Chains A and B, each alone.
Chain A
Amino acid sequence: MSAGNAAFRGAWIALFLQLPVVAQGGVFVERAALSPVEKLVHDRLPSVVKVHGASGLKTIVPYASGVVVSEAGHVLTLDLVMVQSGQTRVVLADGSVHEAELLPPEPNLGVRLLKIDPSRVRTPLRPVSLSSDLPENGTFVVTLGNAFRLAEYGEKVGASLGVIAATTEPGLPLRHRLADVRYEGRLILTDAPNNPGQYGGGMFTLDGRFVGLNARVLEAVETNTLVSAAIPCADLIAYVDRFVHGRVPAVVDEGDAPAAPGYHGIRLFDQGGRRSPPAYVERVARGSPAASLGLRPDDLIVRVGDRSVRSCAEFDEEIARFAAGAEVELTFKRGNDVRRGTMTLGEARR
């Protein structure tokens, strides 16, 4: 989703421009005032940088954007393929070019901190702090970044206007070209255009809060449409704090192997084939968790917890997330009734 619609955006700018006067240094100045969008751009543009990385392969876009998050020279960006050690440079708003050191990436959300040498910076860095807010649907946002690398040499990055369409639950199924993308975090969807080059740029509310880091343009599996989105800053604070302020999270993820899926006792009517059929129950084992929930043959399972399951394959995938002892709510359809019930999974049988 990235086509702009110039007419509508034009209308916006005009609207915001209709503020007649502005107080400047205590004096009312009669001139075209800065609109909220202009003011935001004026305040935040210096914090957004261009990131140039490794190229070589045709499919790799060797440029992106980033946001300065510390006076010590930390720059937050996406962990794109082009971000390679020894080949990554950061171009500040003043046009100066800096070698960037790579810090360890955030493995689950696909972002990475870069660090430039602050002693070599001429104009003072303008770090922004990550907002812990998740703005509501319909909040206006400006995204800043180097869309399509239009900002050559010392030119500044560009701005786009839109609203937050919605923020997804974690784990929206996504694709990049043909391959599925594993991304377990939340995403802020927007109708502001997002494009290669803008990835890693900042999403700001009009009151200046840094609320999201522009994600890659990916395709939502459910709609088969490209999504323009940002990773919520609220979900990145812990990672940034750890490297910028040396705060180690209280609980360290030990990354142990997931437990074996628990036992439910449901056999679905799945005759295989090219497409997995809807999750109709064929048999429920006597005395099983599903039996105690009241599930019966011919029920159609439509949801596992909050997630819709439209096929046997999706049911298998969802239920496998739960280990023995987990409480799982199933929503199922019997006749025309939609029912809910909770079962506690048992130990997997060998």
Chain B
Amino acid sequence: MQVQEVLQAAADRVAASVVRIETYGGVRRTLGADEGSDAVGRAGSSRMEEDLLAQLFDRADPVEIGELWRQKGLAPKDTPFEAEDLRQLGDAVLDRLLRKHQLGPYRPKSGAEREDDVGRIGQGAGFLQAQGASTGLVLSADGWILASRFALSFDPTTVLVTLPDGRTFTATRHGEDTSRGLALLKIDATDLAVPELADPAAVRIGQWAFVLGRTFAPRGRPSVHTGIVSATRRLFGRAIQIDAWTSPANYGGAVIDARGRVLGLAVPLSPSGRDAGADWYDSGIGFAVTLADIGDVVDRMRTGEVVHRAWFGVLLAPEHLGPGAVVTDVAVDSPASSLSLLRGDLLVEFAGERVRNAFHAQILIGQHLAGDPVEVAWQRDGVRHEATVQLGAVPFREREAVTRSDEVFEKPWEGDPPPGEGEEGRR
């Protein structure tokens, strides 16, 4: 059989389980604004293209401009406003005006032409979330649907799921797994087509990986992007890495093998701790969260629980080559501090495994979810101590801080804060 036929047959086998997700309402935010892109933004500050500025000036009401001008505290003008004057209003006001007049979000022009940036996503102070339809995967015949958190991160008031046969349902949101970028939905349907899940342990590097999406293909065969498995057991054993294109056009879609078995779900994860989606898009690096091995997590999500990656709260010294990992700092109010761990202690065992070195400890911690009870053993002055502790979730402020510090090994890599932990625009 030709590869093309294999590919199309595999896609068709899963097609009925790949659903379209549409959202209504909610607060769309700009994601991924960080210091790196801010630098680009600053360099290009108020450098809007002439023709766009002219368009905006045409649409804006002079009275409105005058009002903004006064609010900004600028000196009154004797002459009528000109397009060029808009620059004086600053980036934030320009952004508001552009959106209001349906000219899109304001992205300061950078030095390089975006087109020539070989597929880089929009430059500027952050990345606007995708607004279009997203993709989900049927988990069970009675209406449990798995989706990417990316599609729901702006808290839509209404979520609709449309099956490939055209039936549309209102979905209720259940739990989430921030460590995997997953969200669980439920629709009131029966007899849904359930896909076959591939065994994550049997996935080999180099095998085919096809990504299916519904954003641009609502009915029939989903959209198809092709690639191979680049690596297995990535992101603390939660995902496989693929080289097919993943983007908001197929996040939440099934990643399948050549026989139409589901290897995982395409999600915007990144190991850097920044909001994923922008930074890894179109890089030849995509992640598919494996599903066959997370039944217990799905069960927790069914009850509405939001699970997070575990946090222990230690800084570990990379220069200590092991065995064990030397603690260089302990976070306040962390699981580690509750054990009275101190700087200089040697972490020797974590969750029943011997700690080989600082990097190994980071993996051991990262594999767990917040709330997991683990046994920890450490040495102080040659004396061994043991205790059981319940792991926590990374406090959001700290997550921001730790991504800027190379000393920290417990780098978080999921994007959003847990609910209620003080993020602007989220209630």
Which residues of A pack against B, CB within 8 Å? 1-5, 7-8, 11, 15, 59, 61, 136-140, 162-166, 168, 172, 175, 177-180, 189, 191, 193, 195-196, 206, 217, 219-227, 274-275, 277-278, 300, 302, 308, 310, 313, 331, 333, 336-338
Residues from chain B with a CB closer than 8 A to the CB of A313 are 102
A302 to B52, CA, bound (A): 31
| B170 pairs with A223, CB closer than 8 A | no
A274 to B98, CA, bound (A): 10
| B122 pairs with A1, CB closer than 8 A | no
Chain A residue at minimal CB-CB distance from B228: A8
Residues from chain A with a CB closer than 8 A to the CB of B206 are 11
Shortest CB distance A163–B (Å):
5
Residues from chain B with a CB closer than 8 A to the CB of A310 are 22-24, 131
- Beta-carbon contacts under 8 Å, B190-241 to A: 206, 210, 213, 215-217, 220-228, 230
8 examples of A-B residue contacts, CB within 8 angstroms: A165-B213, A177-B114, A178-B48, A206-B4, A222-B132, A224-B122, A225-B248, A275-B99
Residues from chain A with a CB closer than 8 A to the CB of B228 are 7-8, 11
| Interface membership of B51, Cβ < 8 A | yes
* Interface stretch (choices B61-69, B278-286, B363-371): B278-286
Q: Using known A-B contacts A166-B216, A300-B158, determine if residue A179 contacts B55 with beta carbons closer than 8 Å.
A: yes
| A8 pairs with B103, CB closer than 8 A | no
Q: Which of A224, A227, A274 contacts B100 (CB 8 A)?
A: A274
The listed residue with most A CB atoms (<10 A of its CB), out of B122, B157, B169, B220, is B122
| A226 pairs with B119, CB closer than 8 A | yes
| Interface membership of B266, Cβ < 8 A | no
A191 to B246, CA, bound (A): 10
Q: Which of A162, A225, A278 contacts B130 (CB 8 A)?
A: A225
Q: Using known A-B contacts A226-B282, A313-B102, determine if residue A8 contacts B168 with beta carbons closer than 8 Å.
A: no
Shortest CB distance A135–B (Å):
10
Residue interface mask B121-164, A partner, CB < 8 A = 1: 11000011111110000000000000000000000011010000
Q: Using known A-B contacts A302-B22, A338-B160, determine if residue A138 contacts B130 with beta carbons closer than 8 Å.
A: no
Shortest CB distance A282–B (Å):
15
| B223 pairs with A137, CB closer than 8 A | yes
Residue interface mask B88-107, A partner, CB < 8 A = 1: 00000000101110111011
| A223 pairs with B224, CB closer than 8 A | no
Chain B residue at minimal CB-CB distance from A139: B4
Chain A residue at minimal CB-CB distance from B55: A179
Residues from chain A with a CB closer than 8 A to the CB of B226 are 8, 138, 162-163, 191
Shortest CB distance B123–A (Å):
10
Residues from chain A with a CB closer than 8 A to the CB of B122 are 219, 224
A15 to B207, CA, bound (A): 13
A277 to B51, CA, bound (A): 29
Residues from chain B with a CB closer than 8 A to the CB of A278 are 24-25, 157-158
Q: Which of A195, A220, A337 contacts B118 (CB 8 A)?
A: A195
A274 to B210, CA, bound (A): 39
A66 to B98, CA, bound (A): 36
The listed residue with most A CB atoms (<10 A of its CB), out of B113, B115, B206, B230, is B115
Q: Using known A-B contacts A163-B224, A310-B131, determine if residue A178 contacts B52 with beta carbons closer than 8 Å.
A: yes
| Interface membership of B245, Cβ < 8 A | yes
Q: Which of B115, B121, B215, B224 contacts A164 (CB 8 A)?
A: B224
| Interface membership of B49, Cβ < 8 A | yes
Residues from chain B with a CB closer than 8 A to the CB of A226 are 119, 121, 282
| B248 pairs with A223, CB closer than 8 A | yes
| B160 pairs with A1, CB closer than 8 A | no
A165 to B130, CA, bound (A): 18
Residues from chain B with a CB closer than 8 A to the CB of A227 are 249
| Interface membership of B294, Cβ < 8 A | no
Shortest CB distance A3–B (Å):
5
A177 to B106, CA, bound (A): 10
| B22 pairs with A140, CB closer than 8 A | no
Shortest CB distance B291–A (Å):
22
Chain B residue at minimal CB-CB distance from A16: B3
A191 to B216, CA, bound (A): 13
Chain B residue at minimal CB-CB distance from A337: B170
| A163 pairs with B104, CB closer than 8 A | no
Shortest CB distance B68–A (Å):
13
Q: Which of A136, A140, A165, A225 contacts B281 (CB 8 A)?
A: A225
Shortest CB distance A299–B (Å):
12
Shortest CB distance B211–A (Å):
9
| A225 pairs with B221, CB closer than 8 A | no
| Interface membership of B244, Cβ < 8 A | yes
Chain A residue at minimal CB-CB distance from B285: A5
